[in-house]
Copies of this chain bind each other. A is one copy, B any other.
Amino acid sequence: MYRIGVDVGGTNIAIGVVDDSYSIIGKRSIKTSQVPEIGQMIEAIASGVKELISETGISESDVACVGVGVPGTAELDTGKVMYANNLGFEDEPFLPRLKEALGEPLCEKTYFDNDANAAAIGEYVTGGYTEKNFMMVTLGTGIGGGIIIDGKLIRGVNYAAAEFGHMSINIDDKGCNCGRRGCFETYASAAALVEQAVDSMEKDVDKKSLLWKNCGKVSDLDGEKFFEAVKEKDELALKVLSQYEIYLAEGLTNLINILQPEVLVLSGGITRAAEYYLDDVRSMVLEKVYSRSSKKNTRIEVAHGIKDAGDVGIIGAALLGE
């Protein structure tokens, strides 16, 4: 059997056909900006799914399920997207409309969920975790994630649990777009790391740092260029990374003091450079957590279930029917 995964993002909508070994055997992409209205988006997804099925040489009856991950609050009991700031949706009956557009037999086996939840399920299933209590913390533009307890995803009373990025670790400090101050994501997301590096570059008036050499102007700095400088042991980049590690460790320690999962998995593009910070972060967390057992602690790992980080969204969504 095959599963269809649809990853609705702010920039692209990616659709993939996933086989039983979690490989993507067919894929297509739609620019989100080309389908700004909900009706257009629903039609584009439904026809994209159908065309991709036929292109891949399978039939709708070979499809075990269609799963859609949306970047917002996916209300499972009504099928509504309650809020998706990047799509501009509020209170939209997304799932019923998609089912209608897909028709029989696909509509009977179509599911949706928040994209971070889908990604957590994707990593949990494909990563072959034997632990029943699992937490994924995704470091991207913001910080999101998912919580699995007793093998089941925790969705929360209004389907917005695991908003780890909006745990304040510094209530009197800088503002977050959620309206609070000091949110974890303003310190420890991938975007925050780049921001911290830019701040340091701007203070480096002699422009001696490799960060300057690697990108010429601050607006060109990204995670990849930052870690190139780290690799070359650039002093400024290492200093920025040291401070970032502290922020990341503080937030992860909070999460572990609250839930103590057996395993806490970090994901997001920035984890490709984990060799430069993961061991430090692990040691800091071990020093900070409330319960310092010599026997057993929360393992901190990097997501490994899905080889290409770009496919997490599709594969996670495809597994929503599990």
Q: Mark A residues whose CB is within 8 Å of B.
A: 73, 82-83, 133, 147, 149-150, 152, 154-164, 166-173, 178-180, 182, 246-247, 250, 253-255, 257-262, 287-288, 290-291, 293, 295-298
For the complex, give the distance between the alpha carbons of A298 and B155 in Å. Answer: 13
Given contacts A133-B157, A293-B82, A298-B157, whether A258 and B257 have CB atoms under 8 Å apart is no
For the complex, give the distance between the alpha carbons of A154 and B256 in Å. Answer: 12
Q: What are 8 residue pairs bridging A and B, where the CB atoms are less than 8 Å apart in the complex? A: A149-B149, A149-B154, A158-B291, A160-B291, A163-B258, A163-B291, A164-B258, A258-B259
Residues of B contacting A164 in the complex (Cβ-Cβ under 8 angstroms): 257-258
Given contacts A158-B296, A254-B168, whether A178 and B290 have CB atoms under 8 Å apart is yes
A168 close to B260 (CB less than 8 A):
no
A157 close to B290 (CB less than 8 A):
no
Residues of B contacting A293 in the complex (Cβ-Cβ under 8 angstroms): 73, 82, 158, 160
CB distance from A295 to the nearest CB of B (A): 7
Residues of B contacting A166 in the complex (Cβ-Cβ under 8 angstroms): 257, 290
For the complex, give the distance between the alpha carbons of A83 and B289 in Å. Answer: 14
Residues of B contacting A254 in the complex (Cβ-Cβ under 8 angstroms): 167-168, 254
For the complex, give the distance between the alpha carbons of A179 and B171 in Å. Answer: 19
B291 close to A168 (CB less than 8 A):
no
CB distance from A202 to the nearest CB of B (A): 22
Give the 6 A-B CB pairs with smallest separation, nearest first: A156-B260, A160-B291, A158-B293, A161-B260, A163-B257, A167-B254
Given contacts A288-B180, A290-B178, whether A162 and B258 have CB atoms under 8 Å apart is yes
CB distance from A150 to the nearest CB of B (A): 6
Residues of B contacting A255 in the complex (Cβ-Cβ under 8 angstroms): 258
For the complex, give the distance between the alpha carbons of A213 and B203 in Å. Answer: 53
Residues of B contacting A163 in the complex (Cβ-Cβ under 8 angstroms): 257-258, 290-291
Residues of B contacting A258 in the complex (Cβ-Cβ under 8 angstroms): 147, 161-164, 167, 255, 258-259
Residue among A133, A155, A159, A167 with the highest chain B CB neighbour number at 10 A:
A167
For the complex, give the distance between the alpha carbons of A149 and B160 in Å. Answer: 16
A170 close to B172 (CB less than 8 A):
yes
For the complex, give the distance between the alpha carbons of A163 and B170 in Å. Answer: 18
Residue among A160, A164, A247 with the highest chain B CB neighbour number at 10 A:
A160
Residues of B contacting A296 in the complex (Cβ-Cβ under 8 angstroms): 157-158
For the complex, give the distance between the alpha carbons of A158 and B261 in Å. Answer: 9
For the complex, give the distance between the alpha carbons of A180 and B288 in Å. Answer: 6
Residues of B contacting A172 in the complex (Cβ-Cβ under 8 angstroms): 170, 173
CB distance from A42 to the nearest CB of B (A): 23
CB distance from A179 to the nearest CB of B (A): 7
Given contacts A157-B133, A160-B290, A291-B158, whether A250 and B152 have CB atoms under 8 Å apart is no
For the complex, give the distance between the alpha carbons of A287 and B179 in Å. Answer: 9
Residues of B contacting A178 in the complex (Cβ-Cβ under 8 angstroms): 290
Residue of B nearest to A295 (CB): B158
Residues of B contacting A246 in the complex (Cβ-Cβ under 8 angstroms): 171
For the complex, give the distance between the alpha carbons of A253 and B163 in Å. Answer: 11
